[in-house]
Amino acid sequence: MTASTVAAPPARFNFARYLFERNAARGDKTALIDDQGSLRYGELADAARRFGQALVSLGLRREERVLLFAHDSSDWVVAFLGALHAGVVPVAVNTLLPAKDIAYMLGDSRAQAVIASGALLPVVQEAMALGGHAVQHLIVSRGTDLPAGAHAFDKLVAQATPGDGADTHGDEPAFWLYSSGSTGAPKGTVHTQANLYWTAELYGQGVLQMRESDVVFSAAKLFFAYGLGNALSFPLSVGATVVLMAERPTPQAVFKRMTEHKPSIFCGAPTGYGGMLASPDLPARSAVALRLCSSAGEALPQDIGERWTRHFGVEIIDGIGSTEMLHIFLSNVPGQVRYGTTGFPVPGYAVELRGEDGHAVADGEIGDLYIQGPSAALMYWNNRGKSRDTFQGGWTKSGDKYLRNADGTYTYAGRNDDMLKVSGIYVSPFEVEATLVQHPAVLEAAVIGKTDDDGLTKTKAYVVLKPGQQASAADLQAFVKERLAPYKYPRFIEFLDELPKTATGKIQRFRLRERENA
């Protein structure tokens, strides 16, 4: 399957309308299961059409923004699809952000309304009190004791008449996602109506082979580009059933859904897989009904993939995607998993590895990863300089470094900002980290560069040990020396209780560098 063999959506295209029409015959089938109940496909389409019309009735105009700051639930999906249907632009933001970050996003996006979970109202109110925003309406999902002037989400939906929606163009701005901030301030990434279609076709169906009979559960949240595909656009485009969870994806919370709802597809991140494997509550293979798992967010260590497959008997399809490309563009393939690599280019996408001179590098050499494909974002909002640097003609600069192996697979080497040069040779932090986590006492590791007394760059590892386990720095250094070239072993090791991470589970190595330089 390629972008040329998948039928392109028509020029006039609305993704929400596309889903409603595609599932018209599945009206009585369960679409969504959340913590408070379920919603059938017919009910989902009706509620979304009503909510879109409610936004219009409140005075929101086409392409105006509405901030979506809510826990995963059927209300989140109704709000997102309802806004798309009406041509209003939902701006999905992560639910772990502090008020100052929400205030920044409100001002940056010029959102006219906020849709918030009742449990998140204190953060929203604190953010709005900071000023600098254009918010006219506050809509509260599943909350009690609403602030004066706020609208109850369920009442808005119930009182509205289903609207006909907007006659949108496939290339029209449809929704925003803010970058995770793993390398600094988040950027408003503007995506189109058609981008959701392309990722669902090329990855959801083309690689994961998601089908109507699947029950899908994503630990990655809907505000995350990876989770938006896993738990909304992919399963709803084929008529599957989605399990949604409002709480944070602790091992115990994930195991509860795996054993109660029996999902056939589970989507997680490497940190989560590692934590689950280390948990004493890990369910037996017979207690779940998995046929496939996926991973993204960071490269999956080989050891974690192999241990998961041994325990559950299913593969983890590891891939790399980005907010800018909306979902995964380089991935392992069911039946052809090469743990320790990120697999092959997803059909429909082209990738190139380029050196510092801008030319392609040879196999086995580390280069900057560029991607070309139909789901690329339009731009970063109000950031022309970074837009030009990232979106270069038909190519998108990922900010990641990779090397291509002889078998056509690609191996992750690290973020551009994270790469180290030791003794004049590039060292991938991820390679050292992936080796450290093979030690039976290590839960997580992060590697940065540290300047020694002679002014030379050496590797330093921050290590989190598993509960009840012990290991010395000398033990871990010897372990790495046995498995990697001598110049790669961490000269310095510091033990931490936890690593700094974004809400999507990515390690914030820049925070560790700040700690080192403080």
* Buried residues in 447-479 as b, exposed as e (16+ CB within 10 A): bbbbeeeeeebbbbbbbbbbeeeebeeeebbeb
Quote the tokens at residue 89: 């632009």
Strands 367-372 and 89-92: unpaired
Per DSSP, 184 falls in state S
SS3 state of residue 215: strand
Distance CA 82, CA 64 (A): 14
- Residue by residue, DSSP assigns 250-267 as -HHHHHHHHHHH--SEEE
* Residue 123 Ramachandran class (φ > 0 left, ψ -120 to 50 alpha, else beta): alpha
Amino acid in position 323? T
Q: Are 509 and 446 in contact (CB under 8 A)?
A: yes
Q: Are 139 and 153 in contact (CB under 8 A)?
A: yes
Q: Is residue 392 within a helix (H) or strand (E), and if so which, with residue range?
A: strand 391-392
Distance CA 379, CA 388 (A): 8
Match 């994270």 to its residue by tokens.
Answer: 418
Tell me, yes or no, if the pTM score tops 0.95: no
Distance CA 497, CA 123 (A): 27
Burial of 42 (0-12, 13-18, 19+ CB in 10 A): middle
Helix orientation angle between 41-57 and 74-86, rounded to the nearest 10 degrees: 60
Half-sphere exposure in the Cβ direction for 414 (13 Å, CA): 23
pLDDT tens string for the chain (518 positions)? 555 589 999 999 999 999 999 999 999 999 999 999 999 999 999 999 999 999 999 999 999 999 999 999 999 999 999 999 999 999 999 898 889 999 999 999 999 999 999 999 999 999 999 999 999 999 999 998 899 999 999 999 999 999 999 999 999 999 999 986 544 567 999 999 999 999 999 999 999 999 999 999 999 999 999 999 999 999 999 999 999 999 999 999 999 999 999 999 999 998 899 889 999 999 999 999 999 999 998 889 899 999 999 999 999 999 999 999 999 999 999 999 999 999 999 999 999 999 989 999 999 999 999 999 999 999 999 999 999 999 999 999 998 999 999 999 999 987 777 777 676 666 788 889 999 999 999 999 999 988 777 666 789 999 999 999 999 999 999 999 999 877 789 999 999 999 998 766 778 888 898 888 77
Q: Is residue 44 within a helix (H) or strand (E), and if so which, with residue range?
A: helix 41-57
Quote the tokens at residue 434: 């992936």
* Residue 424 Ramachandran class (φ > 0 left, ψ -120 to 50 alpha, else beta): left
Distance CA 217, CA 206 (A): 19
Q: Are 109 and 86 in contact (CB under 8 A)?
A: no
Give residues with Cβ within 8 angstroms of 292, minimum separation 6: 208, 264, 265, 266, 314, 315, 317, 334
Q: How crowded is residue 412: how many other Cβ atoms within 10 Å of its Cβ?
A: 23
Helices (H), 91-152: 99-109, 121-129
- Residue by residue, DSSP assigns 304-352 as HHHHHHHHHS--EEEEEE-TTTSSEEEE--TT---TTS--EEPTT-EEE
SS3 state of residue 83: helix
